Amino acid sequence: MTGTWLPPGEYIKTIAQATSYACLYFTDTAGRPVQLRATRAVETWQWPGGNMDPGESPWECAVRECREETGMAFEGEPRLLGTHFIRHRGEAWPANHIGFIFDGGALTDEQIAAFVLDPAEHTEVQVRSLEEWRAIMAPAGFDRLREIDAARRAGTVSYLER
């Protein structure tokens, strides 16, 4: 350490940069995960969520994205299920990516049927058992689903790194 303090704007340029996302994890009343099929990569299944806007907290982002992507105004309390760290991927994504996954609770069949998907983002909603999800998801996506589901069942918080 040189003993010289940099102004915040200069110091920030010297440390790792990251983008961030937040989402809500839902199940149906039988405990089966609810996921949305992405439009840009039809093999990708996701939870309602997305990248944080400037000045937005992870919780605010999760609630906003849920409303935008499903039409549902979520009114629950913030309960973190996990954080997800994805190391930068070179030119494909030149910054680290950090996610915050919150517990959205259990939804009734009627609540799930009332989802109004944003067609620019998702094409369908499905409810499946973990074993059914395993059969159709990429391993990395399924590992995240399995870990978050386990954290919720155990009442703990999971740290995921990919």
For residue 1, pLDDT over 60 is answered with no
Q: What is the pLDDT of residue 95?
A: 87
Q: What CA–CA distance (Å, rounded) separates 75 from 7? A: 40
pLDDT band at 13 (very low <50, low <70, confident <90, very high): confident
What lies within 8 Å, CB to CB, of 113 at 6+ separation is none
Does 3.40.50.880 match the CATH number of domain 26-161?
A: no
- Which among 130, 125, 114 has a CA at the least distance from the CA of 30? 130
Average of per-residue pLDDT across 28-55: 94
For residue 78, pLDDT over 60 is answered with yes
Q: What CA–CA distance (Å, rounded) separates 121 from 14? A: 34
Encode pLDDT of 120-135 as tens digits.
999 999 999 999 999 9
pLDDT band at 2 (very low <50, low <70, confident <90, very high): low
- Which among 5, 15, 23 has a CA at the least distance from the CA of 103? 23
Q: Where are the domains of the chain?
A: 26-161
**Which pair of structure tokens corresponds to residue 34?**
């609810």
